[in-house]
Amino acid sequence: MGGKPFSIALEYWLYYLAQDAKWDWSTLTYAGFEQFWTRSVEQYGAVIGTDDPDLTRFRDRGGKVIIDHGLADELIPAAGSIDYYQRVQQRMGGAKATAKFARLFLVPGVNHGFRGAGAQPPA
């Protein structure tokens, strides 16, 4: 019996990093993982990176953002969103200053698609 990687993550590795649809993920070593990870940050970090807490340019241009995360999200743990928001607060002058343009809402009972027992958008 063997496992299989999460399809979205595997497709990222196949098509973006290895750039080979036939790449065999089961041959990946720890050293190979580190090489792919470094390449991923170098090639795509500026475009799809979501971990930079410095939102100065966004804020200064009048941007406002609502970050929401379902606490029953089966794909992405809420702890990552919480950590990111705390780092934004630290970088952007504290909770009060950050709240003027960015807010985090944790939504109990809803999953990655914002469906579930908790509050959700109307259908």
Structural domain for 29, as ranges: 7-48
Is the sign of the CA dihedral 7, 31, 53, 19 positive or negative? negative
Domain count, the chain: 2
Q: Are 31 and 72 found together in one domain?
A: no
User: For position 118, what pLDDT does the model report?
Assistant: 82
User: For position 108, what pLDDT does the model report?
Assistant: 95
Q: Are 85 and 69 found together in one domain?
A: yes
pLDDT band at 109 (very low <50, low <70, confident <90, very high): very high
pLDDT band at 95 (very low <50, low <70, confident <90, very high): very high
Domain membership of residue 31 (yes or no) is: yes
Domain membership of residue 95 (yes or no) is: yes
Domain membership of residue 113 (yes or no) is: no
Tokens 């009048």 sit on residue: 62
**Contact (CB, 8 A) for 23 and 14:** yes
pLDDT band at 70 (very low <50, low <70, confident <90, very high): very high
Q: Are 102 and 61 found together in one domain?
A: yes
pLDDT digits (tens, 9 = 90+) for 30-66: 999 999 889 999 998 888 888 899 999 999 999 999 9
**Contact (CB, 8 A) for 90 and 54:** no
Which 3 state secondary structure label does DSSP give 107?
Answer: strand
Q: Are 73 and 98 found together in one domain?
A: yes
> What integer is the mean pLDDT of 64-69?
95
User: For position 63, what pLDDT does the model report?
Assistant: 98
Q: Are 40 and 66 found together in one domain?
A: no
User: For position 1, what pLDDT does the model report?
Assistant: 59
Domain membership of residue 99 (yes or no) is: yes
3-state helix, strand, coil in the chain (%, to 5): 45, 10, 45
Domain membership of residue 94 (yes or no) is: yes
Domain membership of residue 123 (yes or no) is: no
User: For position 78, what pLDDT does the model report?
Assistant: 95
pLDDT above 70: percentage of residues in the chain: 98
User: For position 61, what pLDDT does the model report?
Assistant: 98
